[in-house]
Amino acid sequence: MDESEDRAQALRLKLASRRDGRRRVPEELRAEAVAFAKAEHASGKRYKSIASALGVKAETLMRWCRRNGEPKKFARVVVKRAARPQLTVHGPAGTRIEELSIQQVAELLQALSCSD
């Protein structure tokens, strides 16, 4: 056995001992498997054969490699202020006034009222 096969066997044992049904493989161990897989792939081996040597499904190994072995992180988001509600006022004879704020509607109604 060469060094690569020894390392694959050691990783296979670690991976097998850390999995328990649907339990997840720890991030550190995934990162180690990804580093090994990328090195092996760079030397010309196919991911399918690398996955087989590690005792994992090829799809799983490919998913780990796409994530680059990095632990999941929260995505930064920008919170924007909600747009102020815009109202439309309909009046007699098809009158239509659009994009008013609630304050503007109140002022309009007060201005149009007949009581003084």
Residues 10 and 39 grouped into a single domain: yes
Residues 45 and 11 grouped into a single domain: yes
Residues 60 and 8 grouped into a single domain: yes
Domain assignment present for 34: yes
Name the average pLDDT for the chain. Answer: 84
Residues 51 and 85 grouped into a single domain: no
Residues 10 and 48 grouped into a single domain: yes
What is the pLDDT, as a whole number, of residue 20? 58
Per the structure, the complete domain to which residue 98 belongs is given by 79-116
Residues 109 and 54 grouped into a single domain: no
- Is a pLDDT exceeding 90 seen at residue 25? no
- Domain count along the chain: 2
pLDDT in tens, 35-90: 999 999 999 999 999 999 999 999 999 998 887 645 667 888 898 887 777 888 88
Within a 13 Å sphere around the CA of 13, how many CA atoms are in the beta-carbon half? 5
Q: Write the DSSP symbol of residue 85.
A: P
Q: Quick one: angle between helices 3-18 and 27-42, nearest 10? A: 150
What is the pLDDT, as a whole number, of residue 44? 92
- Scored b (16 or more CB within 10 A) or e, 19-56 reads eeeeeebeeebbbbbbebbeebeeeeeebeebbebbeb
For the full predicted model, state whether its pTM sits above 0.85: no
Residues 29 and 60 grouped into a single domain: yes
Residues 62 and 84 grouped into a single domain: no
